[in-house]
Structure formats: structure tokens, C-alpha cells
Structure 1
Amino acid sequence: MKRREFLLSAGAAALAALAPAAARSGFASSRLSVVVRGSGPDVILIPGLTASRDMWEGMVAALPGYRYHLVQVAGFAGDPARGNASGDVVAPVAAEVARYIAETGLRAPALIGHSMGGTVAMMVAARHPARVGRLMVVDMLPAPAGLFGASAAGIRPLADSLRDVLTGSPGGRRLLESLIGGFGGAADPAAKSDSDVVARAMHELALTDLTPELSRIAAPMAVVYAVPPAGSGADAGRIVRDYKAAYASARTAELIPVKDSGHMIMYDQPARFRSIVRDFLQAR
């Protein structure tokens, strides 16, 4: 082989080896991207509203021995909106996760989703039960409006008005952008989220109620939820009761409270969270 041909061949092989496994599989989506890390049983990680896939880095590093598929939703954390530039966001992203599982040939992977990612994971498990091996929902109710003491039907007028305000005027957009930036400061990737995508995803979540679909979930299911510390002003007893009532129709659900934590359990209680995930994955 000539030297030039050898170098071209070697370069192509190196690039192929460095490319994410998802890209090599031929899977492409305008609504999400996937980076694959490690080897072993398959675990799909889905971040929440505005979040980056980087939120899982600490957990992935602490729990080797798995092939992690880290999802990034288009429009969040600086990723261009692409296919999420109009219309619904949450349900179409769930459909793409289900398509990813099928087209890449994954066999019953575990799904772990935080917040909005938990909603996405539940949608996949309920609507494509044969494609999911295990399911973990982190700090999310089947009807997210319940987090604010409301129902999906009851919150619609407020959700519609809020969406229109936040997307229909320059002042509303500036307000939403300031709220997004305030989540973690300018250095937080979430601050680079597309405000229009965020507003539509928030509206869709407010009107979502997966309660009637919970009984369709066949995979073993863990619901990990935060119980704020005493003195925070939150009613810990009510939170526990709300989660038990919300998931009563989920045949396979195990509810796991995490004390002294806020919404970002993986940051607030990292050791406890990683222990829960370790047990969850080892039970496969």
C-alpha cells in the first residue's frame, strides 16, 4: 500500500473509532442527539428542562461498567432548536428516544430521566413497553401540574396565558431568559437554552397527565423523589402522600424518598443518589 493511501486509511479508521457510537449506527434526529460512553448493559440518561447531558457526568464516572447513552434535547443548554423549533417538544422527544432504541438495536435498556426527562422516560415505557428493561423517574409526577397543587385540566387557562406572555412580547421573552439564566448563573449551560423551546415545553408539561398510562408500564420502575429538609417551608408529609397517590396505579413502581434534598437530587445528595442508581441497575 502506498504511503498516502495508508495514511488516508489509517485516518479514516481513527475517525471512525472516535465517533460516538450513535453516529456510527446511522441514527440521526433533529430533536435530540446522543453521546455514548463506556461498555456494558445499556442505560439511557435523559436530562430535564433546559439541562445539559453533562448533569450526569458525576454519576457516570462513579458507576462504570455500563454503556451510557447520554441524551441532549435540541434547544436546551446551547444546542440549536432544530426540530424542536416549533410545536410540541416533550412527546416528540419521547418518540425519538423510542426510535433510537429500535434503530440502534438496544435490547431492553434501562431508562433514567430527571424532571422533564422523567416524563419522557415514562412516555417511552408506557407507549413502547417492550423496548424498556427498567425505568427510573427522578423527582417528577405523572401529572407535573401536581407539583403546584393543580391538575392538568385546571391549570390550562394559566398555562395558556403564561405561554402567551412569555413568547408573545419582547418583555416576556426577556423575563423568561432571565429566569432561565437564574437557574445556575451565566456559566450554567442551561442559561443558553432557547427560550421559545423552553416556554413550549413548560406549557406541554403543564397539560400532560400520564396517570391513565401508568398501568401500561411493564418494566420494573423506581420513582426517586426529593423530600426537602426541615425548615425549608415544604410539607414533607404531604410530598410523600402526593407521590404515593400519584403512582398508585403504577403496577411496578417502587417509591424512594431522598431526604434533605432539592429538585437536583444528583447534586444535593450525590452519594445517596448514586447508591440508589447502583442498586437499580444491579437488579437487572
Structure 2
Amino acid sequence: MPRSTLTRRLLLASLLFAIASSALLPATAAEFESDRIAVTTEGKGKDVILIPGLGSSPRVWRELVRAVPGYRYHLVQVSGFAGHARGLNAQGKVAAPVADEIARYIMVNSLERPAVIGHSMGGTVGMMVASRHPNALSKLMVVDMLPFLGAMFGPPGTTSESVKPTADAVVAQLRSADPAARQARATATIASMVDTVAMREGAVDDSIKSDPDVVAQAFHELIVTDLRPELEKVTVPATVLYVVTKTPGMTDAAMDAAYKAAYAPLKGATLKRIPSSAHFIMWDQSEQFQSEVRRFLGQQR
């Protein structure tokens, strides 16, 4: 047999073997297609899904990923945030469909019940995954988010229905802002949420690059969505980290009581207040945050 013919046959056999072998492998993040989220992976080890908050990007997890190796991190980017195309998040709800997409991502990639960590809106999404897809994850960490954000926008006894006019007004204001007003609002908001000055620029950049309509829709959804009735469906170990808001008159004791009451249906949850931090705990108290994540990931069921 001529050498050229033999070489071609060997190459063809190698190609067919590679194709057949790949069919036996689990799907990768690159093969997962979605119009609501994009996911990148870093590291090796047990799977951990990281979900950023409203108008944010995976940059919020950069220091954590570097400081806590030994895991395969799946970094979620919500479509419409931080300069990414809006996709299907252009209309209707955002958080709930994103939660369903993350559950689908876990299934498509054959992940074995990963841990989920969500900041702010990402915490809401994490709670939705845990309550609505209870077999998808092994444990949940919520970073500075209540199960009913609307409670912060009204008096005691506020409900999803009673807070809707307030949510409508907030969204109308967001949508009517011109670029200069958006820039000013983003700068002021991030300054109140990030005490570490060096980290503010990136957060402002993500916010300004986020689609205003997607942000408005998602914010409205967060205000009117009450997940407290769903918390009893969460059966995995859960940790909630929180800070004391900068609301005038707010005290440590008052915030502790608010979180304890809000998460009462989540049996066995670990609630921990992080002192001397604003909303972005991963930046303002990075070492303590990383320590808490290590402890969380080391939990046994």
C-alpha cells in the first residue's frame, strides 16, 4: 500500500476515533447556548456556580477565584448586563428565567450538584434555583440579599401587591433618565455600595454598560418578588451573609432581626452579619469573605 494512502487512512481513523470519543464526554460550557446567560469556567475541582448581581459582571468574583483555588468555577454573565447583548432578557422577567437557565446549564453539562453562590440579584436567582430545582445543587450561599426586597421599600406588612406602585415609579424613573443622569446615578449608587474606592470604577463601568431596560425590568421583578413562601422548599445547606445598610437609624440589632425574620422559613440556614462592609462584601471585606466561602464549600451535607 502506498505510504500516502496509508497516512490518509490513519488520519481518517484518528478523526473518527476522536469524534466517537467526544460523543461519550459530557457537554462543556462552550457547547451550552442561551439567549439569557453566558458562562465561562476557570479552575479545576468541584463545581461552583457564581452569579453576580444587578448590572454586574463576573469581575466581582475575580479576587475570590484567585484566592480560593481547587474548584471549577462557573462564572455567569446575565444577558443585558455589563455590555452583553440583551437576548431574551429584553422583555419580561429576568431573574426567574435566568434561574431556569442555570438549572438547564447544570443539566446540559452533567454537573454533579454544584454549589451556588449569588450576590444581590444573584442571591435571588440562587434561591429560585434552590427552591424550584431542588435536585440541581448541593448548597447555597446568598450574599447580601433578602428573599423579599420589597420589604425595604415599604412599611411593615408590605406585600408584593402593595409595593407594586413603588416598583412602577422606580422603574419609570430609571427608564426616563438620560445618559448624564444615568452616569451620575450609577456613580452615586456604587459609592454607597462599595466602600473600597479602588473597586468602584469597574462596578460603575459595568453599570453604565448595562442595558437600561433590562436593568429596570429586573429591578422591578426584584422589588415585587416575595420568595419567603418558597424558602421551605429549599432542602440544601444554606448560608446567608449580610451587612447593615446605610439607612439612617439602622442598627446591627435591627438588621439582625430583619434577616432572622425574613429567613425563618429556611430551616437550618446559617446567617452571618459581616461588619464594616457595604453591599459588595467580596471587595470591602475580601479576606473575611474568602474565609466564609472556604468554610461554606467545606460543609458536609
Are the aligned partners of 1:22 and 1:34 in contact in 2 as well (CA < 8 Å)?
Answer: yes
**Counterpart residue type for residue 266 of structure 2:** A
**Counterpart residue type for residue 22 of structure 1:** A
Q: Within the alignment, does 1:217 sit opposite 2:224 as a pair? A: no
What is the aligned length?
268
Are the aligned partners of 1:228 and 1:260 in contact in 2 as well (CA < 8 Å)?
Answer: no
Structure 1 range deviating more: 177-186 or 209-218: 177-186
Q: Which residue of 1 aligns with 2:193?
A: none
Are the aligned partners of 1:217 and 1:252 in contact in 2 as well (CA < 8 Å)?
Answer: no
Are the aligned partners of 1:215 and 1:249 in contact in 2 as well (CA < 8 Å)?
Answer: yes
Q: Within the alignment, does 1:195 sit opposite 2:212 as a pair? A: yes
Aligned equivalents of 2:143, 2:273: Cα separation in 1: 10
Structure 2: which 5+ residue stretches go unaligned?
Answer: 1-6, 16-21, 191-199
Are the aligned partners of 1:31 and 1:74 in contact in 2 as well (CA < 8 Å)?
Answer: yes
Are the aligned partners of 1:27 and 1:100 in contact in 2 as well (CA < 8 Å)?
Answer: yes
Q: Could you tell me which of 68, 74, 81 is aligned with 2:79?
A: 74
Aligned equivalents of 1:173, 1:206: Cα separation in 2: 24
Aligned equivalents of 1:172, 1:246: Cα separation in 2: 36
Are the aligned partners of 1:86 and 1:197 in contact in 2 as well (CA < 8 Å)?
Answer: yes
Aligned equivalents of 2:116, 2:213: Cα separation in 1: 27
Aligned-pair distance for 1:228? 5.8
Aligned equivalents of 2:294, 2:152: Cα separation in 1: 27
Matches within 5 A, 1:144-155: 144-150=149-155, 151=158, 152-155=160-163
Q: Could you tell me which of 179, 189, 197 is aligned with 2:185?
A: 179
Q: Within the alignment, does 1:239 sit opposite 2:255 as a pair? A: yes
**Counterpart residue type for residue 138 of structure 1:** V
Aligned equivalents of 2:92, 2:213: Cα separation in 1: 10
Q: Which residue of 2 aligns with 1:36?
A: 41
Aligned-pair distance for 1:55? 0.7
Structure 1: which 5+ residue stretches go unaligned?
Answer: 10-15
**Counterpart residue type for residue 185 of structure 2:** L
Aligned equivalents of 1:179, 1:88: Cα separation in 2: 23
Structure 1 range deviating more: 114-123 or 85-94: 85-94
SS in 2 for 1:243: helix
Aligned-pair distance for 1:70? 0.3
Q: Which residue of 2 aligns with 1:162?
A: 170
Are the aligned partners of 1:166 and 1:172 in contact in 2 as well (CA < 8 Å)?
Answer: no
Aligned equivalents of 2:223, 2:130: Cα separation in 1: 20
Q: Within the alignment, does 1:275 sit opposite 2:291 as a pair? A: yes
**Counterpart residue type for residue 259 of structure 1:** P
Are the aligned partners of 2:28 and 2:109 in contact in 1 as well (CA < 8 Å)?
Answer: no
Aligned equivalents of 1:104, 1:127: Cα separation in 2: 19
Q: TM-score, normalised by structure 1?
A: 0.86
**Counterpart residue type for residue 234 of structure 2:** I
Q: Could you tell me which of 255, 259, 273 is aligned with 2:271?
A: 255
**Counterpart residue type for residue 145 of structure 1:** G
Give identity over the alignment, percent. Answer: 47
Aligned-pair distance for 1:166? 2.9
Aligned-pair distance for 1:144? 0.9
SS in 2 for 1:42: strand
SS in 2 for 1:130: coil
Are the aligned partners of 2:153 and 2:166 in contact in 1 as well (CA < 8 Å)?
Answer: no
Are the aligned partners of 1:87 and 1:200 in contact in 2 as well (CA < 8 Å)?
Answer: yes
Q: TM-score, normalised by structure 2?
A: 0.82
Cα-to-partner distance string for 1:48-96 (whole Å, 9 max, x where unaligned): 0011111101001000000100000011111111111111111111110
Larger radius of gyration: 2
Matches within 5 A, 1:97-108: 97-108=102-113
Structure 1 range deviating more: 151-160 or 63-72: 151-160
RMSD of the TM alignment (CA)?
A: 2.6
Q: Within the alignment, does 1:64 sit opposite 2:72 as a pair? A: no
